[in-house]
């Protein structure tokens, strides 16, 4: 990818998508975030509050961070300087666990993404959001969002309803001006992060758009974002022993328990199509992509203390519980979806069963294995954040940042795909 490829990241949060875009070869010209602890995290990892509102950094300079409300952010100085605009607008209006008021919710920040497109005119856009966008009750409005992204320069009259604006956009769709710089080609992908090597079940919607004047090859895009991992391959690797070769220290009683359950899960036709196995929570703790294994948390250290002999944020937390509707992660499957939760404190998604058996009679929960809260560092592993990435704030705020983030590996797949498509356009131009 050319060294001059550039990006802007809005709603940067704890930095998952920003890190992914940078890994894919893009040089950030600006990050924007409003939450104090998330901004502190970005600064702790090299971003720098911008001294001048319209400073365009040179290669090698720190990532400029604009702290504050995006509605106060002016971006016109970056017009035609940005290859990729990326961001995950706050998703509360559409989350299954949120208020579900759709476009009536003032936290809906999609209009700010469209304003940024008008001011920057980026070559490409990546937008990530929750699966709640796909609910049948929201489908008409989600289709409207896609049309707004297709025609971001067709601004909505403040006095009109979204339905009135949508009628205007529908009429514009019928016109044959696909190569206009003011029209974008829009692609929607429904994804599970586990299908891309993330050790977590995380269903999301990723929208990718390219400016209409670019002669893109959409086949290249679709090929670049094909699934690379599968559940079936994981089950087969467990059955055939390849999985246990990577985890030779797992006690025999744990293996036997997993194998008994496997008999009911693996289909007779277990062809995997050449895909790699889903990664599991155990894989994440053992280390993915050259990360070292995380040491176990001793049972006498569930005390909220950061010990000197433990990695940063690998802190035991007390009082984890299991009850109906509050079930734990298991080690030999991808983790459950990491959620920000109320006030940043997740529920059962942050509890895990361990390999350690309960002493004495089976407890009231019915689980023969002991459970505890996952540490922040373990949760970061599940989100494919590297151990070197420093999170700021108290535990709840760190968990909130992780729960709101884009898994780094998932974001990197789509950012690399955009880079590949743009490279192809340049080669043919």
pLDDT the model gives residue 344: 44
Domain match, 62 and 179 both: yes
- For 29, 46, 312, 393, the CA distances from 56, given in Å and listed in that order, are 6, 16, 34, 29
pLDDT the model gives residue 176: 77
Phi-psi region of 229 (alpha: psi -120 to 50; beta: other; left: phi over 0): beta
Domain match, 374 and 418 both: no
Domain match, 338 and 373 both: yes
Phi, psi of 299 (to 5 degrees): -65, -25
Residue 348 belongs to a domain: yes
Domain match, 208 and 303 both: no
Among the listed residues 77, 24, 25, the one whose alpha carbon sits nearest the alpha carbon of residue 50 = 77
Residue 1 belongs to a domain: no
- Residue 73: give its domain's CATH number: 3.40.50.150
Question: pTM for the complete prediction?
Answer: 0.93
Give the residue ranges of the chain where pLDDT is below 70: 1-3, 91-105, 263-272, 341-348, 363-366
74 exposure class (CB count in 10 Å sphere: 0-12, 13-18, 19+): exposed
Domain match, 237 and 214 both: no
Residue 179 belongs to a domain: yes
Domain match, 222 and 325 both: no
Length of the chain: 429
Give the bridge partners for 357, in sequence order.
Answer: 369
- For 302, 310, 392, the CA distances from 305, given in Å and listed in that order, are 8, 10, 16
Using DSSP's 3-state secondary structure scheme, residue 161 falls into coil
Domain match, 135 and 172 both: yes
Q: What is the pLDDT of residues 265-306, one digit of tens each?
A: 666 565 667 899 999 999 999 999 889 999 999 999 999 999
- For 42, 151, 192, 244, the CA distances from 410, given in Å and listed in that order, are 19, 27, 9, 26
Domain match, 209 and 286 both: no
Return the C-alpha torsion angle 396, 401, 406, 409, nearest 10: -80
Strands 84-87 and 6-10: parallel
Domain match, 21 and 81 both: yes
- Name the E strands within 64-192: 64-67, 84-87, 124-130, 184-192
How many domains, in total, are found in the chain? 2
Residue 317 belongs to a domain: yes
- End-to-end Cα, the chain, rounded Å: 16
Residue 236 belongs to a domain: yes
- For 114, 184, 207, the CA distances from 147, given in Å and listed in that order, are 11, 9, 12
Residue 286 belongs to a domain: yes
Integer Cα distance of 395 and 343 in angstroms:
11
Domain match, 179 and 328 both: no
Residue 102 belongs to a domain: yes
pLDDT the model gives residue 341: 64
Residue 394 belongs to a domain: yes
Q: What is the largest CA-CA distance in the chain?
A: 73
Q: What is the mean pLDDT of the chain?
A: 90
Domain match, 144 and 250 both: no
Residues 6+ apart with CB under 8 A from 175: none
Domain match, 163 and 307 both: no
Q: What is the extent of the structural domain holding 335? A: 229-403
């Amino acid at each position: 990818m050319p060294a001059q490829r550039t990006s802007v990241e809005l709603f940067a949060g704890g930095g998952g998508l920003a890190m992914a875009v940078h890994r894919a070869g893009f040089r950030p010209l600006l990050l924007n975030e409003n939450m104090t602890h998330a901004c502190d995290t970005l600064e702790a990892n090299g971003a720098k509050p911008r001294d001048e509102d319209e400073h365009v950094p040179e290669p090698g300079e720190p990532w400029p961070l604009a702290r504050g409300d995006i509605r106060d952010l002016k971006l016109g100085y970056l017009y035609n300087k940005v290859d990729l605009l990326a961001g995950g607008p706050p998703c509360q209006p559409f989350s299954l666990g949120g208020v579900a008021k759709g476009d009536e919710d003032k936290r809906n920040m999609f209009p700010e993404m469209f304003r940024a497109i008008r001011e920057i005119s980026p070559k490409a856009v990546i937008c990530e959001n929750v699966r709640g966008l796909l609910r049948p009750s929201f489908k008409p409005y989600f289709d409207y969002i896609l049309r707004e992204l297709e025609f971001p320069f067709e601004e909505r009259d403040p006095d009109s309803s979204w339905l009135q604006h949508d009628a205007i956009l529908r009429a514009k769709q019928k016109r044959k001006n696909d190569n206009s710089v003011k029209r974008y080609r829009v692609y929607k992908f429904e994804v599970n992060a586990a299908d891309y090597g993330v050790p977590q079940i995380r269903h999301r919607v990723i929208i990718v758009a390219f400016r209409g004047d670019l002669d893109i090859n959409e086949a290249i895009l679709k090929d670049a974002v094909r699934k690379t991992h599968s559940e079936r391959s994981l089950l087969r690797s467990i059955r055939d022993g390849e999985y246990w070769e990577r985890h030779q220290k797992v006690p025999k009683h744990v293996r036997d328990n997993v194998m008994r359950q496997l008999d009911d899960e693996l289909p007779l036709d277990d062809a995997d199509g050449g895909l790699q196995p889903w990664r599991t929570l155990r894989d994440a703790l053992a280390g993915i992509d050259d990360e070292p294994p995380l040491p176990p948390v001793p049972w006498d250290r569930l005390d909220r203390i950061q010990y000197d002999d433990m990695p940063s944020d690998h802190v035991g937390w007390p009082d984890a519980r299991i009850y109906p509707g509050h079930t734990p992660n298991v080690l030999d499957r991808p983790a459950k979806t990491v959620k920000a939760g109320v006030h940043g404190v997740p529920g059962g998604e942050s509890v895990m069963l361990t390999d350690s058996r309960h002493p004495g009679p089976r407890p009231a929960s019915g689980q023969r294995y002991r459970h505890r809260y996952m540490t922040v560092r373990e949760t970061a592993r599940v989100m494919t954040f590297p151990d070197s990435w420093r999170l700021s704030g108290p535990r709840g705020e760190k968990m909130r940042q992780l729960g709101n983030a884009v898994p780094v590996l998932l974001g990197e797949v789509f950012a690399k795909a955009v880079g590949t498509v743009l490279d192809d356009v340049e080669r043919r131009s």
